[in-house]
Structure 1
Amino acid sequence: MTVHDITDQFLAILLREVGGTRRRWRNVIGPVKLYSAETHPHCNWSITPGGDAGENSAVERVADRLRDKYPIIG
């Protein structure tokens, strides 16, 4: 799983569950920040959504699910 793959996962889930456009969700999600697995052994990636309250809440719910499935990405 790569940064690109996790972004694709976010987009697929958000489009299916919430609707909207890929472009809007890509802007809301923003960049996936990747950290060293050595210094972040439980989860080496994060996001900082930049949408409205409802959009950010949807992104955070998806992020929690994806962190459970993919805590370490490369």
Structure 2
Amino acid sequence: MTASDLEQLLIARLIRERGGTSQTWQRVLGKVIVRDTATHAHCNWDVRLNGTDAQCAAIEHLLDNVRLRHSIVTLD
């Protein structure tokens, strides 16, 4: 899975589970940051959230689940 694929997956799930628009969730989510697997062997990606406390909490809850299934991503 690529970083872009992961972003789209996260946004689609947020819309389905929490409502709102893709633009809103994209703004809150930001870009997926891909790190080197040599130093981040268990999960090589992260995000920098920028939203309300409720929006960030919704994303953090989703990220816990998604990281279990998609812990390693590649650059686009």
TM-score normalised to the size of structure 1? 0.97
Deviations 1:32-51 (A, max 9, x none): 10001111001000011111
The answer for unaligned runs of 5 or more in structure 2 is none
Q: What is the TM-score with the length of structure 2 in the denominator?
A: 0.94
Tell me how far apart the structure 2 counterparts of residues 7 and 67 of structure 1 sit (CA, whole Å): 12
Q: How much has 1:15 moved relative to structure 2? A: 0.2
Structure 1 gaps, min length 5: none
**Residue 43 (str. 1) matches residue 49 (str. 2):** no
Amino acid at match of 2:20: G
Secondary structure of the 2:23 match is helix
Amino acid at match of 1:43: C
Length, aligned pairs only: 74
RMSD: 0.6
Deviations 1:33-73 (A, max 9, x none): 00011110010000111110000000111111110001111
User: Sequence identity, in percent?
Assistant: 35
Question: What letter is aligned with 1:46?
Answer: D
